[in-house]
């Protein structure tokens, strides 16, 4: 029966039982982690052959004869640009292949717009205030970048089809100091949402008071399906096509990486944008870099080959990840469906499940879990300034722990959710 329908005595009894169960969990002194979107060790093992594809000098030459062991090739090897273009749904000539981190490329892009402007616009640092749309729940490291530059972050709800576009359109139409929006458009972090075609078209076409409004399109999970059948995979309209069709070809900058395809920290990142934006961004890149690590680019090309190679490799990840995501759904369903007050996402890809606890309980749940040996992403992390006004959203990251640890961690999590909810309903 739903907790909200219990009378006072029944609730008190339920709470007492939960406290007992919680105490037993705590006594086990576990150390479990559902905090960060890290691949598990067996996923990393999948890419070990990549470390052996370059061993001799002959292996180190690019298709155009470039000795990849030496300086040069700022925008990345032709074959690496082709590979990443396949991931980014773009043409190789619009792609810059960077170092090991799309986060770094996004930081640099925002930093350069802020420092120098975009395509001749006034540098954003010269505004009294710069505002930025932050979809919630969203990715904490995105929000940290805009916070670092002192932008005022405007939270807008991310719904089942993507951002609340009425709200987004209203905000960007009226205020030229609104300069951008963070988007994880496919299998978003944390809710697993993929934007509908209509949302993508509205983002591309909406009238913006700022000529230099920019969509930071962090397509981090574009190939990260949980299911092999195309019918069970989300599809995303290309923002580049939509922006060109809408007559706003310079509005977007796309990012992606192989961090969760091959190896986090030892992958390759890339960006794609209109020729004008790429030329503009390269005018800064050429000052701070001679080239990214071309040997690592070459490793990736030799290992992943092309879009088909990536898709085949991702199926191996899915074999490992699918049971973990299924376990999350089963444990939450079994443990919380009857209790009520909670909801959670059922993603078909990506790295997270977004969990909405009863209002005002998220911090308590995370704290209870921590004390019982289960580390969760901090409550509030999915909101700008780590401040969830509803104290409700919790990001579940099920990928790192082995299945049996995840099982134990989810039991404790469910217990903590129920206990915090019972505390709330009983006035603690």
Site residues (CB under 8 A) for its own copies?
Answer: 36, 38-39, 41, 44-45, 47-48, 51-52, 54-57, 59-60, 67-72, 99-101, 103-104, 107-108, 111, 114-115, 125, 141, 144-145, 148-149, 259, 263-266, 284, 287-296
The Cα 73–Cα 75 span in angstroms is 6
Residue 67 CB, shortest distance to its own copies, in Å, is: 6
Residue 180 CB, shortest distance to its own copies, in Å, is: 16
Using the structure block, give the residue that is written with the tokens 């709200």: 167
The Cα 62–Cα 80 span in angstroms is 9
Using the structure block, give the residue that is written with the tokens 């205020």: 175
Judged by phi (left if over 0) then psi (alpha if -120 to 50, else beta), residue 42 lies in alpha
Residue 14 CB, shortest distance to its own copies, in Å, is: 39
Nearest to its own copies of 5, 58 (CB atom):
58
Give the sign of the dihedral formed by CA 224, CA 391, CA 156, CA 179.
Answer: negative
Nearest to its own copies of 110, 165 (CB atom):
110
Q: Which two structure tokens, joined as six digits, stand for 205?
A: 């076409």
The Cα 221–Cα 423 span in angstroms is 37
Residue 81 CB, shortest distance to its own copies, in Å, is: 16
The Cα 139–Cα 29 span in angstroms is 30
Residue 229 CB, shortest distance to its own copies, in Å, is: 29
Nearest residue to 248 (alpha-carbon basis) of 282, 293, 202, 284: 202
Nearest to its own copies of 149, 390 (CB atom):
149
**Are residues 292 and 99 in contact, defined by beta-carbon separation less than 8 angstroms?**
yes
Nearest to its own copies of 124, 252 (CB atom):
124
Helix axes 140-148, 102-116, angle to 10 degrees: 30
Residue 398 CB, shortest distance to its own copies, in Å, is: 16
Nearest residue to 78 (alpha-carbon basis) of 60, 88, 65: 65
Whether a cis peptide bond, with omega within 30° of 0, leads into 137 is yes
- Residue 350 DSSP label: S
SS3 call for 128: coil
Nearest to its own copies of 104, 375 (CB atom):
104
Nearest to its own copies of 39, 349 (CB atom):
39
Residue 400 CB, shortest distance to its own copies, in Å, is: 8
Nearest to its own copies of 40, 163 (CB atom):
40
Nearest to its own copies of 146, 392 (CB atom):
146
Helices (H), 223-360: 239-245, 275-288, 294-304, 307-336
Residue 327 CB, shortest distance to its own copies, in Å, is: 21
Residue 287 CB, shortest distance to its own copies, in Å, is: 5
**Are residues 389 and 152 in contact, defined by beta-carbon separation less than 8 angstroms?**
no
Nearest to its own copies of 149, 227 (CB atom):
149
């Amino acid at each position: 029966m739903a907790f909200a329908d219990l009378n006072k005595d029944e609730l008190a009894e339920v709470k007492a039982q939960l406290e007992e169960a919680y105490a037993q969990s705590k006594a086990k002194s576990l150390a479990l982690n559902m905090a960060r979107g890290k691949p598990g060790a067996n996923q990393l093992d999948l890419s070990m052959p990549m470390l052996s594809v370059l061993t001799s000098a002959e292996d180190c030459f690019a298709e155009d004869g470039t000795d990849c062991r030496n300086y040069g090739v700022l925008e990345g090897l032709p074959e690496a640009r082709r590979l990443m273009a396949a991931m980014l749904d773009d043409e190789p000539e619009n792609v810059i292949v960077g170092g090991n981190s799309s986060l770094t490329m996004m930081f640099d892009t925002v930093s350069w717009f802020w420092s120098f402007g975009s395509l001749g616009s006034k540098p954003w640092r010269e505004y009294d205030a710069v505002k930025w749309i932050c979809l919630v729940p969203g990715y904490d490291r995105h929000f940290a970048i805009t916070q670092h530059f002192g932008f005022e972050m405007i939270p807008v709800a991310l719904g089942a089809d993507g951002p609340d576009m009425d709200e987004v359109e209203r905000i960007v139409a009226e205020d030229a100091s609104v300069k951008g929006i963070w988007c994880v458009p496919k299998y978003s972090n944390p809710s697993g949402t993929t934007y509908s075609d209509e949302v993508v078209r509205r983002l591309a076409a909406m009238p913006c008071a700022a000529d230099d409004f920019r969509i930071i399109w962090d397509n981090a999970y574009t190939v990260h399906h949980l299911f092999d059948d195309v019918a069970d995979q989300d599809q995303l309209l290309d923002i580049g096509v939509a922006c060109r069709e809408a007559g706003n070809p310079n509005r977007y900058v796309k990012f992606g990486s192989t961090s969760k395809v091959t190896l986090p920290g030892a992958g390759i990142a890339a960006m794609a944008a209109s020729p004008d934006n790429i030329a503009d961004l390269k005018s800064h890149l050429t000052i701070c870099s001679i080239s990214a690590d071309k040997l690592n680019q070459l490793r990736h090309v030799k290992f992943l080959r092309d879009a088909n190679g990536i898709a085949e490799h991702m199926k191996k990840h899915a074999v490992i990840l699918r049971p973990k995501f299924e376990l999350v759904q089963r444990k939450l369903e079994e443990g919380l469906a009857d209790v009520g007050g909670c909801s959670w996402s059922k993603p078909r890809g990506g790295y997270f499940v977004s969990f909405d606890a009863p209002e005002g309980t998220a911090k308590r749940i995370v704290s209870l879990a921590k004390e019982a040996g289960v580390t969760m992403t901090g409550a509030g992390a999915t909101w700008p300034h780590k401040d969830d006004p509803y104290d409700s959203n919790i990001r579940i990251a099920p990928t790192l722990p082995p299945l049996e640890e995840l099982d134990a961690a989810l039991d404790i999590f469910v217990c903590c959710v129920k206990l915090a909810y019972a505390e709330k309903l009983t006035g603690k």
